[in-house]
Structure 1
Amino acid sequence: MSRRRLDEVDRAIVERLSRDARVSNRQIAAELGVTEGTVRSRVKRMEEEKLIRITAVTNIDRFRDASLAYIWIEVERSHQVSEVASQLAEIPELGFVGEMLGRSDLLAITMVRNNEHLAEFVHGHISCIPGVRRTESTLGVNFVKHDYRMARIVR
């Protein structure tokens, strides 16, 4: 299946929804100068093609008793990266798992209460996965910018 390129109207719809996903199709249509049916059909198509997903996002700045933990993972052999990533993706506490280029093979992101909680999580859920060579963890302490909206699509 080839990837569809988003046109300017699609991008404008995504940009508007990224600011407030509860905005009506009618309001988006009025702002963009298109019909409500155009907005509705384009949103439906982008959802069906899994180009967008409309969901609620937590505001991590409001979590006073939790920190964002970045867990950098090296695997033993390069052919194990995908399998380890798949196993990590099955862990419900991980909100992000990605294959990386650079010093580490994988990055996993989760929320933890403190250093001890992070250590327990890494030892109990990640280090025990076959193929994991080593992990390195960092905690986010001050977020200057945190924006999960991915409406700014690179062209």
Structure 2
Amino acid sequence: MPDKIDALDIRVLVELQEDARKSLREIAEKLGVAEGTVYNRINKMKRMGVIQKFIPIIDYSKLGFDLIAVIGVTAEGGHLIEVEEMLANEPNVTAVYDVTGEFDVITVAKFKDRESLNAFVKRIAGLEHVKKTYTMLVLNVVKETHSINLAKLMEGELKVD
């Protein structure tokens, strides 16, 4: 029988989203289960690819990367994946999305200054198979996260029998 995600797994994820450095004991006590259960659930979700890795959330603006660009890219037909892979390998890029609409790709990247942004945009625009770019600068970050509020979105499913 294949592994499935259940309400207890979601509750473990909620705890890890709050603080991935919580001990297994802390999570187990809060959820009213054994430490071994939490350990096994986390390993199951890692095996399934639900949990990919545990990383710190870094405020890049505190490191000087406070210039954020959202760049729409149009690629030549048949070369979209190639362009996306080139963009994904750029060190400033935090996200590459294959999208519908006016552009083929949306890329989010962070920079220390206008000069590095300018060099990046010119380099991207000059890539083979890139037809057009459109750059927007972020004026204010209202919300930026890699998590969704699982507790709220799954509240009806969080009850463990």
Deviation, structure 1 residue 115: 2.9
TM-score (norm 2): 0.81
Whole-Å Cα distance in 1 between the matches of residues 116 and 137 of structure 2? 12
Residues 151 and 42 of structure 1: CA distance in aligned 2, closer, same or farther (over 3 Å): farther
Deviation, structure 1 residue 151: 5.5
TM-score (norm 1): 0.84
Aligned match of 1:142 in 133, 140, 143? 140
Question: Which stretches in structure 1 are left out of the alignment for 5+ residues?
Answer: none
Whole-Å Cα distance in 2 between the matches of residues 102 and 152 of structure 1? 29
Deviation, structure 1 residue 21: 0.9
Residues 85 and 128 of structure 1: CA distance in aligned 2, closer, same or farther (over 3 Å): same
Point out the more displaced range, 140-149 or 101-110. Answer: 140-149
Question: Which stretches in structure 2 are left out of the alignment for 5+ residues?
Answer: 155-161
Query: What's 1:94 paired with?
Result: 93
Name the Cα RMSD after superposition: 2.3
Whole-Å Cα distance in 2 between the matches of residues 61 and 87 of structure 1? 25
Q: Tell me which structure has the larger Cα radius of gyration.
A: 2
Whole-Å Cα distance in 1 between the matches of residues 143 and 89 of structure 2? 28
What is the one-letter code of the residue matched to 2:117?
L
1:66-105 equivalences under 5 Å are 66-77=66-77, 79-105=78-104
Whole-Å Cα distance in 2 between the matches of residues 92 and 45 of structure 1? 32
Using the aligned pairs only, state the percent identity.
Answer: 28
Determine helix, strand or coil for the equivalent of 1:117. helix
Whole-Å Cα distance in 2 between the matches of residues 64 and 113 of structure 1? 5
Deviation, structure 1 residue 129: 2.1
Determine helix, strand or coil for the equivalent of 1:17. helix
